[in-house]
Structure 1
Amino acid sequence: MGVSVLTLAFAAPSASAHGSFGQATLTGWAMLPAATFVSASDPSGGLLGGTPSNGITPPFDDQPVQGFSGIVKNGDGTFDVISDNGYGNKANSGDFVLRIHRVFPDYAKKTVDVVGGINLTDPNGYVSWALTRKDRVLTGADFDIESIQRLSDGTYWIGDEFGPYLLHFDRAGRLMQAPISLPGVRAPENPEGNPNLNSSKGFEGMAQSPDGRTLYPLLEGTVAGDPAGALRFNEFDLVHQRYTGTIYTYQLEDPSNSIGDAIAVDDDRFLIIERDQGQGATAKLKRIYLADKRDRNRDGKMDKTLVADLMNLADPRHLGGTSNVFTFPFQTIEDVVILDDRTLGVVNDNNFPFSSGRTAGQPDNDEFITIRLTDNLHADKRFLH
């Protein structure tokens, strides 16, 4: 193993004086209804106590198609999206099966079709602790998956929050090796104990370098002892299967905010969703930043440029409603993908059936939107096909 270079550097948060793009424009809107289920699947929601939420009463006869927390572009109009741990925590999600869904948003019809999917499993016993199901189908009590990248060989790398772990699956959803821990960081759900990261604050975003040799998993929360709002953006060498020790710092606008996703634009720049905890009328900050790891101003943090304010999207064609301004007022917005050099796809995690950011008292649907930026990203061409 070579000597790694530690570049973890922190500084006190500075005032938000970032450069920015202009007002982005909504160019497409499609919706998957909240009450969408995997047909002929296993019952789910039995650990929710039968308590109604937003007019929905569990348990369910089948698995909900919900909680989209990571996205991969397939190049044919479809996308692979992952459902997270299910219902919010380890204790209530043991009957929620972890799954990669394949979906097709039709922006002309404003609909989203679920065209396939695979369950995530560990048939070869790479997980050393007891799983919830004896058949080794993975559930939301085993892992909380929140980010995904697919390599050129068709295998998937998925970021988890319970470890936090990196998980490597083949194209059929079978775990290929033991979960990989992040050195020096443990969540409360980690069986090794001594946590220094809060629950649900693990690998919320994960980028892949243009050459496919490096992953960049980004923590959602601050590790104990680090400055408030400072998030560790880690570097993982796929060739040697190890963390390099290089860590960059993404600084939240407010320590109470969270990130929702992180993807690469080129070797140095990343698109990162940052959001507050509000929904509906209380939603204020839902943004996409361009973060540069080169740290041009030498303040110890990634440089940030505002790319899109998701609470202030121009909608001159009234694709998303009757107003000239479209808002994306969801508590959790956890998917961003580059469609072309000026167009992004963005998807919310609807936390079915708990979130109601669009209409009070009604469960949020999964909304797929496309937005046109005012400037080119000048992204690496390998991300544009």
Structure 2
Amino acid sequence: MLLCVGLCLLNSCDYIDDFIGDTPEPISVSPTTILKNNIQYPLPHSVLSTINSNVEIRNGGFGSGATAHPNNEDEFYAITDRGPNTNFLEGKKFPVADYTPRIGHFAVTASGEITLLQSILLKDPSGKLITGIPNPEGKGATGEIPYDASGNKIAFDDFGLDSEGIVALKDGTFWVSDEYGPHIVHYSANGVQLERISPTGVNEGTGDRKLPAVFAKRRANRGMEGLAITPDEKTLVGIMQSTLYNPEKIQSNITRIVTFNLETGYTKQFVYVQEEANLSNSEITAISNTEFLVVERDGKFAGEEAAQKHIYKINLSGATDISGINPEEEFGLMIGDKTIEQATPEELTAANIVPVHKELVIDLVAELGYPHDKLEGIWIMDNNTLGFINDDDFAVSDNDGDGVIEQKILPGSTDIDASSLYMVKANFK
């Protein structure tokens, strides 16, 4: 049935019912009671398309973000990004241009297998399937030009999403963050858009509920990579993958966290300092209303020099809100004539700006030789167990940056990279 979904997407269906998988019995098994720590458990997948008779584009891709099921500890959700793509000319080539980003609902069976219960395809407010194609100017454009598999330019998508962060609420709805606008989008249990929140001037129709204007200066393909919600379900907490290009292209280890009060629409901003410039803050999950876990990583595989896959515990308490007086100011709070991103640590200190406190919880490369390049999904399973998933890029890559799709193989092996669940014990309380 998954293959049928993939074929239907390839044939540009205008609408498609979400896939509901066969439910093995029994389902209600906690992963922590059946799965072993530090062991790879690949998520299920089918083949979406085959290139040159031997390169599989897999209809998997789950792992750009992950979150616990809010009502059932035996289940979890993971989300795909915009779909398979490669660098091409001044933008991106999309070999399956009508691919729809989706949320996967997963469970673990008594036999220790991960099963896909449902794929929830994301839709616009009218119920029409969206794509992962970039937004046009005025709607969250990043400057990336989209091309199809043949290298022809294709139309932008007003509701296109490069989904990365996800949280699931007890009422069955979801909030998803992305790398375009950046947007934070509220979806129904069936994946229909309920609300889209973006920087000032982007995607009109959300009234006063907007992100601060400065977030529109996100670097292309490095937008709001992680999203969490406080345990009381009152506040969304988003983290930017890298330094904002504020006011221009810049290399810095200064990144931003934004909080969004769902009741009032009020936002706050905080400085998060990476260990080095150009790393990726690829996930955030809540421990309490003020404490969170953050994945800070590079893009290297295990075995490559100084590969980093760190999980930090952070605390917003005591950190300085850098919102400034007017959240609609495009450069945000200034320190003299410098933006926050242009300032040095010493200048931040002199301006009495305190970043969020952070402490290392676990180094996954040192702990278990974590083999994947893109650690992007993490959630808390119990008081001392973390679950995490990697983004496998739909099992394809573009190693030479020439737009030619290749199979994504783990270095030093013949194994195709696969989105996989791992569990690890960690002291984060």
TM-score (norm 2): 0.64
Cα offset, 1:281, TM superposition: 2.1
Measure, in 2, the Cα distance between the counterparts of 1:110 and 1:185: 45
Q: Classify the secondary structure of the residue corresponding to 2:393.
A: coil
> 5 Å matches for 1:357-368?
357=410, 360-368=413-421
Cα offset, 1:352, TM superposition: 2.2
User: Which has the larger share of helix?
Assistant: 2
Residue ranges of structure 2 left out of the alignment (5+ in a row): 1-35, 87-91, 134-159, 204-212, 320-348, 397-407
User: What is aligned with 1:292?
Assistant: 315
Does residue 139 of the first structure (1) align with residue 139 of the second (2)?
Answer: no
Aligned residue among 152, 155, 159 for 2:170: 152
Are the equivalent residues in 2 in contact too, given 1:205–1:262 (CA < 8 A)?
A: yes
The one-letter code of the counterpart of 1:281 is G
The one-letter code of the counterpart of 1:219 is M
Are the equivalent residues in 1 in contact too, given 2:79–2:103 (CA < 8 A)?
A: yes
User: What is aligned with 2:385?
Assistant: 343
Cα offset, 1:174, TM superposition: 0.7
Are the equivalent residues in 2 in contact too, given 1:120–1:174 (CA < 8 A)?
A: yes
Cα offset, 1:338, TM superposition: 0.6
Q: Deviations over 1:313-339 (max 9, x none)?
A: 2xxxxxxxxxxxx21131110111111
Measure, in 1, the Cα distance between the counterparts of 2:359 and 2:372: 22
What RMSD over aligned residues (CA atoms) do the two structures have, in Å?
2.9
Q: Classify the secondary structure of the residue corresponding to 1:118.
A: strand
Aligned residue among 308, 311, 324 for 2:362: 308
Q: Which structure would you say has the larger RCO, counting Cα contacts within 8 Å and 6 or more residues apart?
A: 1
User: What is aligned with 1:237?
Assistant: 261
Cα offset, 1:29, TM superposition: 2.6
Are the equivalent residues in 2 in contact too, given 1:31–1:365 (CA < 8 A)?
A: no
Residue ranges of structure 1 left out of the alignment (5+ in a row): 1-25, 126-135, 187-191, 314-325, 379-385
Q: Deviations over 1:42-67 (max 9, x none)?
A: x657xxxx358xx6245xxxx70224
User: What is aligned with 1:70?
Assistant: 65
Measure, in 2, the Cα distance between the counterparts of 1:51 and 1:57: 9
Q: Classify the secondary structure of the residue corresponding to 1:27.
A: coil
Are the equivalent residues in 2 in contact too, given 1:185–1:197 (CA < 8 A)?
A: no
User: What is aligned with 2:291?
Assistant: 269
Are the equivalent residues in 2 in contact too, given 1:118–1:172 (CA < 8 A)?
A: yes
Measure, in 1, the Cα distance between the counterparts of 2:56 and 2:387: 31
TM-aligned CA distance change 1:293 to 1:356, over 3 Å: farther
Measure, in 1, the Cα distance between the counterparts of 2:290 and 2:366: 27
Cα offset, 1:299, TM superposition: 6.0
User: What is aligned with 2:424?
Assistant: 371
Does residue 215 of the first structure (1) align with residue 218 of the second (2)?
Answer: no
Aligned residue among 172, 181, 188 for 1:170: 188
User: What is aligned with 2:104?
Assistant: 101
TM-aligned CA distance change 1:348 to 1:57, over 3 Å: closer
Does residue 182 of the first structure (1) align with residue 199 of the second (2)?
Answer: yes
Using the aligned pairs only, state the percent identity. 27
TM-aligned CA distance change 1:273 to 1:357, over 3 Å: farther
Aligned residue among 409, 413, 426 for 1:356: 409
Cα offset, 1:357, TM superposition: 3.5
Q: How many residues align?
A: 304
Are the equivalent residues in 2 in contact too, given 1:286–1:329 (CA < 8 A)?
A: no
Are the equivalent residues in 1 in contact too, given 2:318–2:354 (CA < 8 A)?
A: yes
TM-aligned CA distance change 1:154 to 1:312, over 3 Å: same
Are the equivalent residues in 1 in contact too, given 2:302–2:365 (CA < 8 A)?
A: no
TM-score (norm 1): 0.71
The one-letter code of the counterpart of 1:56 is V
TM-aligned CA distance change 1:157 to 1:330, over 3 Å: same
Aligned residue among 189, 192, 201 for 2:222: 201
User: What is aligned with 1:9?
Assistant: none
Does residue 83 of the first structure (1) align with residue 92 of the second (2)?
Answer: no
Q: Classify the secondary structure of the residue corresponding to 2:233.
A: coil
The one-letter code of the counterpart of 2:361 is V
Are the equivalent residues in 2 in contact too, given 1:98–1:138 (CA < 8 A)?
A: yes
Measure, in 2, the Cα distance between the counterparts of 1:67 and 1:117: 10
User: What is aligned with 1:14?
Assistant: none
Cα offset, 1:243, TM superposition: 4.3
